[in-house]
Amino acid sequence: MKLKKNKILFVLPDLKWGGTQKIVSFISSKLAIKDYEITLMVIGFKKDAVFNFNTNTIFLNKTRLLFSIPSILKYVFKNKPKVIFSSFTHINIIFAFISIFLRDIKFICRESSVITSMKTYTTNSKIQDYLIKLLYPNFIKIICQSEDMKSDLIKNYNISSKKLVVINNPVVYFSNSNFNLNVKINKSINLITVGRLSPEKGYLRIIENLSQLKKFNFIYKIVGQGHHKSEINKLLESKKLLDKVVFLEQTNEILYHLKKSDLFLQGSYVEGFPNAVLDSCIVGTPVLAYNVPGGTKEIIKHGFNGFLVKNDNEFRKNLNDFFEKKNINFDRKKISLDIRKRFGQKIILDSYRTLFENLLI
Domain ranges of the chain: 6-170+345-359, 189-342
**What's the CA gap between 94 and 268, in Å, rounded?**
28
Closest listed residue to residue 245, CA positions, set 284, 203, 286, 280? 203
233 and 203 in contact (C-beta within 8 Å)?
no
pTM above 0.85, yes or no: yes
The average pLDDT across 87-101 equals 95
pLDDT score recorded for residue 4:
63
Average pLDDT, the chain: 92
Could you report the per-residue pLDDT of 147-195, keeping only the tens digit for each?
Answer: 999 999 999 999 999 999 999 999 987 444 455 555 545 568 999 999 9
Please tell me if the domain spanning 6-170+345-359 has the same topology as the one spanning 189-342.
yes
pLDDT band, very low/low/confident/very high, at 213 (cuts 50, 70, 90): confident
Q: Given a cut of 50, is residue 65 above it in pLDDT?
A: yes
**What's the CA gap between 351 and 211, in Å, rounded?**
43
What is the sign, positive or negative, of the torsion defined by CA atoms of 36, 42, 46, 49?
A: negative
Pairing of strands 263-266, 189-194: parallel
pLDDT score recorded for residue 236:
97
Closest listed residue to residue 118, CA positions, set 310, 272, 281? 272
Which is the CATH superfamily of the domain at 6-170+345-359?
Glycogen Phosphorylase B; (3.40.50.2000)
Which residues make beta-bridge pairs with 12?
42
pLDDT score recorded for residue 176:
44
pLDDT score recorded for residue 328:
78
Could you report the per-residue pLDDT of 241-300, keeping only the tens digit for each?
Answer: 999 999 998 888 899 999 999 999 999 999 999 999 999 999 999 999 999 999 999 999
pLDDT score recorded for residue 195:
95
Q: Given a cut of 70, is residue 228 above it in pLDDT?
A: yes
| Pick among 3.40.50.2000, 3.40.50.20, 3.90.1150.10, 3.40.50.920: CATH of 189-342 | 3.40.50.2000
Could you report the per-residue pLDDT of 102-141, keeping only the tens digit for each?
Answer: 999 999 999 989 999 998 888 767 899 999 999 999 999 9
What is the sign, positive or negative, of the torsion defined by CA atoms of 211, 212, 214, 219?
A: negative
Percentage above 70 pLDDT, the chain: 94
**What's the CA gap between 18 and 109, in Å, rounded?**
17
